[in-house]
Amino acid sequence: MLMRSLSILAIVLAPVVARAADEENPYKSAKVGDFAKYKMTTKVAGLSLDGTVVQTVTAKSDKEATIEVTGSIEFNGNKMDIPKQEQKIDLTKPYDPTKGGNLPGGADAKVEKGKEGKEKLKVGGKEYETTWTTYKMKAKQMGQEIDAEVKTWMAKDVPGGGMVKMTMTAKIAGQEMEMVMELIETGKKK
């Protein structure tokens, strides 16, 4: 049950933490095939879980972009795929991550934006000019309450929404949890 909740939380967070609303929707300049791959490290209940999350632009028109989120979590040598999630992004409006997107498994999330700032961040051997934002998230999924504090670092030159790094502390299924996602690769799938 805890592993299922972790995979749902990872997929919920990926589109939720994309760059906050600004004068341009971060997906407006995206092209079909653009992707961003992240290393994900999670610590919960005395366990350390590693995985990856990939966001890929799978379709795009002047009015809408379709983003596919996939990934996997590894535990004790066993790999568990994160269920594929698809999100439609309205390009005619600024992107607002506090809306939560299409949440799987009947999940319900409320996201409140906090503080913002600017910071240079070096990830994967490259330095990015980032804008960081903090969020508080309350979610309910499969009858379980999730309370989380999230901080994201975003850069305009990163495809798939602009996320460079994300940290989160949460309480899920009565357990304290920490998660870090860091950009490890970007590119264009053919």
Please report, in tens digits, the pLDDT of each residue of the chain (190 residues total).
444 445 445 544 544 444 444 446 778 888 999 999 999 998 887 888 899 989 899 999 999 999 998 999 887 788 888 888 888 888 888 765 545 444 444 456 677 889 999 999 998 888 999 999 898 888 776 677 778 898 989 888 887 678 899 998 988 777 888 989 999 998 887 6
**Is residue 128 a contact partner of residue 153, using CB atoms and an 8 Å limit?**
yes
**Separation between Cα atoms, residue 23 and residue 3, nearest integer Å:** 38
How much is the pLDDT for 140? 74
Taking the mean position of all CA atoms in its chain, how far away is CA 71? 11
Q: Is 44 helix (H, G, I), strand (E, B) or coil?
A: strand
How much is the pLDDT for 10? 52
How much is the pLDDT for 127? 92
How much is the pLDDT for 33? 93
Domain 2-188 has CATH 3.40.50: no
Going across the sheet that includes 144-154, the strands are: 78-90, 64-75, 47-60, 34-44, 175-188, 163-172, 144-154, 126-141, 108-123
How much is the pLDDT for 121? 93
Residue whose token pair is 């990163």: 158
- Cα 26 to Cα 60, 64, 128, 185: the distances in Å are 13, 12, 16, 18
**Separation between Cα atoms, residue 68 and residue 87, nearest integer Å:** 6
**Separation between Cα atoms, residue 74 and residue 24, nearest integer Å:** 36
Task: Name the DSSP letter for residue 106.
Answer: G
